[in-house]
Each structure stands twice: as structure tokens, then as C-alpha cells.
A and B are shown apart, each in its own frame.
Chain A
């Protein structure tokens, strides 16, 4: 997977690649990691979205959206050439498949999340319909964001399946399934059980898990509160539109006051209309928060994986100890702990020496296996801890940087909203003064 020393990565593409509305170019610029070791090899973008119709797995007609992924080699661009991009179409479910593969293959990495499957935190003006063009557009941006994050990750960017995803339209799904990743996936039950029963998890991971809960809770609270605020703010602005109408009607019966009133009414209408753009822009802020809401889950997944590996190690160790004990008991005849074998021996008499020998032999084999298992598990656990810790640190830095920028951008949006409001009211005031 990884070529020696060289790690492929991607650069942030320039805005000219976007065929859709811009407005969040700042979003893209923050997504890419730059560093001396990362080489930029490929330019990636999700350029378009289209509706398709087809038969699904149960042979029913369905409509879905596909997204166009375009890639271009960076070296060509650096040389000043402008080659046509390679492109292929993918649907959301294929992105999901890719991500699931990454989750299983790299359990120590905080894997970037996909944009939400269904529209949530919707306030009344926003559509919850997956086919709604605004939703599709935001999803297109989210998918591009996901690819950029993955392709700029020091570990994930080297994955072959990722490369296939970006370059081979057909047959990709088969290749993914062939990796057999689905078999490696941990069952939920196993993971849950580990969470409850693990005895000595790494404290740092427990703290990180606790943090992931906090992050999730706060971002979701914030998103909910923001949606309610947006709803109310919309109402306030729109009611002002009524002034427009009544001023217009009133101006009809006035002589000197008429003109001033009429034009003031127009400004009130403009004021009422201005909220649409303002809130549209704010959705981008919401999307940034959503990304980290989902990131929290990815972080928690890494912590859970640790719990699982640690638990398995503990189990293996426990198992080894018990086997050794059994061996000892069998060999020395001293029963230290209660066991059914011991009881039955007492009740029904001990077994024959050949049987005992056989059992001892078996136990020794099991002990050998157990020791191997413990060794393997220890290595697995330690490796996971090491790699995961590195990636969690990387994640933390990225999160701090991204959210900080998101908050600053939010402040900028608020300033812009205030300025617009002042402008509108000043215009209206001028008209009032002319009354």
C-alpha cells in the first residue's frame, strides 16, 4: 500500500473546478493537510450531481443521485498544462461502502465522516427531502470534503481501494468485497460487551472517549438550538414585509407623505427578503458543525476499538492463567479452586492415568497456543494504542484549527448580517425623513 517514503496526497483544488455555486471555498482550504512529507499528486473534486433512475436490488424502480468525481494529476497542472480530468460517477451508497471499508481496515484512525444521510436539524424553511436541490448541493460539497480529507490523510491516502474508488468506475465494488473486510468487522455486541467488562483500559483513551461524548453532545445541542434560532429569525424578518404593504396602501391617501412612505415600504420588503440569503449562508456553518458531530462518533469508534483489543488481551491473559492453573492442578493433584472436574473426580473417583496424561498434553498445547495468543493480542493492543494515539493527536489539532476557523467565519457572517440590516434601515430612514 504505502510506497516507500512517498505518501500520496492531494491538494486543495482551485475554485475554477467548481461548476456549482461557490461560497464555501474557505471550507475547502481548511480541509487539506500540508506538510513537508506529503506530496501532492492528484487533484480531486466532486464536480456535479445528477439524478438517475434504475432498478434496485429488489427490482423496484428508484431515483437516486450520482456524483461526478473528477481527478487530474498535479504534476501536469504544475507544468502549466491543463489536461481534461478523468471522471466517474458514484452514488452515496458507494461512498458509504468505501468508508466502511476504511473503518474496518484502519481501526486506529479517526476516519473522516460522510455528510449526513438524511437532512436533520431542519428548520421549517429547509427541506427534509433528499431530492431537494439545496440538500443535494450541500451533499456534493460534503462528499468532496470527505474525499479531500481522506486523500490528505497520512495513512488513509495510501490505500489502494481508495485509489480504485477514484479511478475505476466499474468493478470497484467487487474489488472491495474481495478484500473480505466485512468479515473483519467487529460485531456490535462484542464491542459493547468489551466496553462494560474491560478492566484496565488506557486512561488516555478513556479520557478521549469521554471527550468524544462531550463533543457529540455539544455539537448536536448547538445544531438544534441554531435551527430554532434560524426559524425565529426568519419569522422576525418576514413580518417586516407587512410594513411594505401597509405603507404602500397608506401612501395612497397621503399627499406630501406619500412618496416617502411608498419608497420606505420597498425597503421594508427588501429587508424581509434579505433573510433568505443570510440563512442560506449560515447553513454552511451548520455543515461544519455537523462534520464534527459525526467526527465525534469516529473518535469514539477508535476508543472502543482500544477497549476491545484491551479486553481481548485481558481475556486471553485470563484464559492462559486459568489453563496454567488447570495444568498445575492436574499435575500436582492439588485443587486450589473449585472446578466441576474436581467435583466429579471427588464424586466419581479420579480418572485413569492415561486419560490424565492426555489431558495434560492437551493443556500444554493449549497453553502454548494461549501464550501465542497473548503475545499477538499484546502486540495488537500496543500497536493500536500507539497508532491511534498519534492519529488522535492529529485529529485534535485539526479539530481545533477547523472549529476555530468555523467560529471566526460565523462571526464574519454575523457582521455581514448586521451591516445588511443597518443598510436597509438606513435606506428606510432616508425615505422617512423625506416624508
Chain B
């Protein structure tokens, strides 16, 4: 077995399926893989070739496990990607408006820093628009159907309702695109996808297919052997599906609550401003009370400002992340459905083969299907773990951020009121001493 450079996927069509070990098993038997250009493509049910030259794809992963003495750690979390070993960094920033005769749109700067050999240069800097991100995502979905592709921010915005060129909208979208790209770049399989490479490096993206015509390929997969239904979905995938449904529901509720809070806060803010102005207008008829009244008006204004910031932050940072996860859940459910279909296909073919009373040796196509299904299952499970872990981090960050922002808002308000108290109380003692004198 050769060491070092990643190689092509070892074909699994030349051995009985039972002899191929699950890559995640702790077994130490080497996988006798064929070397080199024997890239017998394992096809998707719709015929699109799977490009899996990634070193972390299920089969070659096992090879890597071989080389590592510490099997334990890798078996526990084979997709562990500690930051020290990261070799691909991407950033999306610097939005700019482009005006052409046909249309106006925004482009973003996509910067890449990498030490990977798949890239010719260590650094790249290109400009991409939303369409390009969309293209990338579709390409990824097509080429890696067994993997969970991170979601993009909403494509369509209702003109007239949202200003596509407003600072807040662009900022929010950019952050989401940045997150999308980072998630892809962090994924052990997706980050090696050649489409990603092209996206990050090409001067002009040659998007061969018209985007308008492309539907989400994954969803149009209908090829199931004679409408065959699943025998039994493995329990863990059922659990995943249930979890996603409930989680989706809860996210929806949280989104509604957050929006309601924003609305209530905005109405509170309106009344608060009016309230502050009453103090200001009272100042005109008082002399001794001038300072305290002005002071109170000032503190109310400060509180209003703090609240305004809070609302802005929440709508810009909090809500988009929630919505993103809803999209993520949609993606995940799609992948689960595809997996189901892969299983259904396998079982269908198996049953058909049995009915045709073929020899003991299972036919090649059935083996291929089984292999596909098992790869799918493995990929999905690994991605699921990864997704769960990321989700935990993301929500920890999100909720902590929400708490921080609220604390910050109160702190600003408290500081203003406290300084007013000090000011007024000092004046009081001042007056008292001058009275007794």
C-alpha cells in the first residue's frame, strides 16, 4: 500500500460486499485496494458520476486509519478537524455594487489561503456574486449527494419589501455566505471538491449550465426500482428524522418569539421616546428642577439608544442564524430522503435478483447498490455527528450572544442613571452646605 498522496477511490465492485469492511470499524485488516487509475466510477442512481477523490472519503479513509497507530481517537471522531491541521482558510467580505446595462448586483470578495497541493497558489482573491454561490452549492449537491451541504441565505427577496442594496441586507447576506463557505471549507470531503476549487480560484466561473434551468437535482431523483418501499429504515435514521422535525418546530417557535420581542421592543421604544420628550418640555417652566428634569430626559434618551442597538443587533445577527438552521434542516431531510431511496433501490434490486433465482453470488449491480447504500449511511452518520457538534457550538454562540447583547443594553442604561444620581446628589450636598453657611 502506498503512503502519502491521496489516491483514487478503490473500486468496490470486484469483491463480494461481505469482504469489504466498514471503514469505521476498528479492524486492522488492510483493504486490498487496486491502485491507480482504476477509477471505476460508482454511479448515482441518476447516472451522475461521483467524484470522490477526497482523501477522507470512506474507503481511502480506512487506508489512512491504517497508517495511524492511534486508531482509537480516529475511530471516535474520524472527521475531527482540529484547527492546527486546517490548511484551507476562506473569507467573504468587501461587498461592492456593480452596475451594468442589464442589471445591478452586488459582488463579494472571496479570499483564500491554503497550503493544499490541490491549489496551484497559496493565496487567491476573486470576486463572486450570489449566483456563483448558488452554482457552487448546486454543483456540490450533485457531486456529493451523500453529504450534507450547508445552506445558503434565501435566494429570492421580494422587491419592494426588502431593499436588496441596503447596508443591513447586504451585511446579513454576506455573513451568511461567509459562513456557508467556511463550513464547506471545513468539511473533510466537500473541501476537496473540484467545483469548490474552481469557485475559489477561477478568474471567470464558467458555469456551463444556465442557472435558471437548474432545479435542485437532488430533489428530482425519482429513480426507485418499481416504486419499492423501504423494508425498514434503520432506527438511527428514523431518530434523525424525528429529531429534525421536532427541532425544526422549535426553531420556528423561537423565531416567532424573537420577532415578537422585536416588535414589542420597538413599540416600547416609541413610547419611551415620547416619554423622554415630556421631561424635556417640562424644563421650560422650571428653574430649580431644570437639572434633574434634563438629566432624566438625557438618561431616557440613552436608554432609547441602547435599546435601538439591541434591536438592530438581534435582527441582524440572531434571526438570520435561526433561519439558516431551518434551511440546514431542510437540506438534511433531503439527504435523509436520498438515503432512503438508495436503500430502497438496493432492496428492490436484491429482491428482484432473488426472484430471478440467480446464483449465490450476488450480481454486480446489487453489490454496487449495497455498497452505495452503505457508503451513504456511513457518510451520513459521520456528517450527522459533525452537524450536531457544529449545531451545538453555533447555538451556544448564538444564545450567549443574545444574553450578552441584552446585558450590554442594560449596562449602558444603568451607567447613565447612576451618573445622574451622583450628579444630583452632589448638587444636593452642595446646596445644603451653602444653606447652612
Please tell me the number of chain A residues within 8 Å of chain B, measured between CB atoms: 48
Q: How far is the CA of A422 from the CA of B268 in the complex (A)?
A: 19
A222: chain B residues within 8 A (beta carbon): 275, 278-279, 282
Q: Are B296 and A421 in contact (CB under 8 A)?
A: no
Nearest chain B CB to A6's CB is how many angstroms away?
Answer: 26
Q: Are A411 and B267 in contact (CB under 8 A)?
A: no
A425: chain B residues within 8 A (beta carbon): 403, 406-407, 410
Q: Which of B250, B410, B421 contacts A408 (CB 8 A)?
A: B421
Q: Write the A410-435 contact mask toward B (1 if CB under 8 angstroms, else 0).
A: 11101100110110011011001101
Nearest chain A CB to B386's CB is how many angstroms away?
Answer: 15
Q: Is residue A270 contacting chain B, with contact meaning CB distance below 8 A?
A: no
Q: Is residue B272 contacting chain A, with contact meaning CB distance below 8 A?
A: yes
Q: Is residue B57 contacting chain A, with contact meaning CB distance below 8 A?
A: no
List residues of B (398-437) whose CB comes within 8 Å of A's CBs.
399-400, 403-404, 406-407, 410-411, 413-414, 417-418, 420-421, 424-425, 428
A414: chain B residues within 8 A (beta carbon): 299, 303, 413-414, 417
Q: Are B285 and A411 in contact (CB under 8 A)?
A: no
Closest Cβ neighbor of A215 among chain B residues: B285
A225: chain B residues within 8 A (beta carbon): 271, 274-275, 278
Q: How far is the CA of A332 from the CA of B97 in the complex (A)?
A: 101
Given known contacts A229-B275, A400-B289, A407-B293, is B250 in contact with A435 (CB within 8 Å)? no
Q: Are B403 and A428 in contact (CB under 8 A)?
A: yes
A432: chain B residues within 8 A (beta carbon): 396, 399-400, 403
Q: Is residue B89 contacting chain A, with contact meaning CB distance below 8 A?
A: no
Closest Cβ neighbor of A426 among chain B residues: B407
Q: Is residue B95 contacting chain A, with contact meaning CB distance below 8 A?
A: no
Q: Which of A226, A419, A433 contacts B400 (CB 8 A)?
A: A433
Closest Cβ neighbor of B419 among chain A residues: A411
B396: chain A residues within 8 A (beta carbon): 257, 260, 432-433, 435
Q: Is residue B45 contacting chain A, with contact meaning CB distance below 8 A?
A: no
Q: Are A253 and B268 in contact (CB under 8 A)?
A: no
B267: chain A residues within 8 A (beta carbon): 232, 235
A428: chain B residues within 8 A (beta carbon): 399, 403
Nearest chain B CB to A251's CB is how many angstroms away?
Answer: 10
Q: How far is the CA of A260 from the CA of B296 in the complex (A)?
A: 39
Q: Are A408 and B292 in contact (CB under 8 A)?
A: yes
Q: Are A411 and B299 in contact (CB under 8 A)?
A: yes
Nearest chain A CB to B428's CB is how many angstroms away?
Answer: 8
Q: How far is the CA of A429 from the CA of B411 in the complex (A)?
A: 15
Closest Cβ neighbor of B413 among chain A residues: A418
Q: How far is the CA of A218 from the CA of B250 in the complex (A)?
A: 47
Q: Write the A289-322 contact mask toward B (1 if CB under 8 angstroms, else 0).
A: 0000000000000000000000000000000000
Q: Are A246 and B296 in contact (CB under 8 A)?
A: no
Closest Cβ neighbor of A433 among chain B residues: B400
Q: How large is the interface on B (under 10, 10 to 19, 20 to 34, 35 or more residues)?
A: 35 or more
Given known contacts A408-B421, A418-B417, A429-B407, is B247 in contact with A250 (CB within 8 Å)? yes
Q: Write the B261-301 contact mask toward A (1 if CB under 8 angstroms, else 0).
A: 10011011001101100110110110011001101100100
Q: Are A404 and B288 in contact (CB under 8 A)?
A: yes
Q: Are A411 and B421 in contact (CB under 8 A)?
A: yes
Q: Is residue B116 contacting chain A, with contact meaning CB distance below 8 A?
A: no
Q: Write the A368-393 contact mask toward B (1 if CB under 8 angstroms, else 0).
A: 00000000000000000000000000
Q: How far is the CA of A429 from the CA of B402 in the complex (A)?
A: 9
Q: Are A218 and B264 in contact (CB under 8 A)?
A: no
Given known contacts A229-B268, A400-B289, is B421 in contact with A412 (CB within 8 Å)? yes
Give the secondary structure class of A's interface: helix
Q: Is residue A77 contacting chain B, with contact meaning CB distance below 8 A?
A: no
Q: Is residue A331 contacting chain B, with contact meaning CB distance below 8 A?
A: no
Q: Are A257 and B285 in contact (CB under 8 A)?
A: no
Q: Is residue A284 contacting chain B, with contact meaning CB distance below 8 A?
A: no
A231: chain B residues within 8 A (beta carbon): 271
List residues of A (228-256) whose CB comes within 8 Å of B's CBs.
228-229, 231-233, 235-236, 239-240, 242-243, 246, 249-250, 253, 256
Q: Which of A228, A249, A404 contacts B424 (CB 8 A)?
A: A404
Q: Write the A193-217 contact mask toward B (1 if CB under 8 angstroms, else 0).
A: 0000000000000000001001100
Q: Are A232 and B264 in contact (CB under 8 A)?
A: yes
Q: Which of B253, B268, B293 contacts A232 (CB 8 A)?
A: B268
Of the A-B pairs whose beta carbons lie under 8 Å apart in the complex, a sample of 30, sorted by A's number, is A211-B285, A214-B282, A214-B284, A221-B281, A222-B275, A225-B278, A226-B275, A228-B271, A229-B272, A236-B261, A236-B268, A246-B257, A249-B253, A253-B247, A403-B289, A404-B288, A404-B289, A404-B424, A407-B289, A407-B424, A408-B292, A408-B421, A414-B303, A414-B413, A421-B407, A425-B410, A429-B407, A432-B396, A433-B396, A435-B399
Interface contacts beyond A407-B295, A414-B417: sample of 4 additional A-B pairs, CB < 8 Å, sorted by A = A214-B282, A229-B275, A232-B267, A421-B407
* Contacts from B to A (Cβ < 8 Å): 243, 246-247, 250, 253-254, 257, 260-261, 264-265, 267-268, 271-272, 274-275, 278-279, 281-282, 284-285, 288-289, 292-293, 295-296, 299, 303, 392, 395-396, 399-400, 403-404, 406-407, 410-411, 413-414, 417-418, 420-421, 424-425, 428
Closest 7 CB pairs of A and B: A418-B414, A429-B403, A232-B268, A214-B285, A400-B288, A218-B282, A225-B275
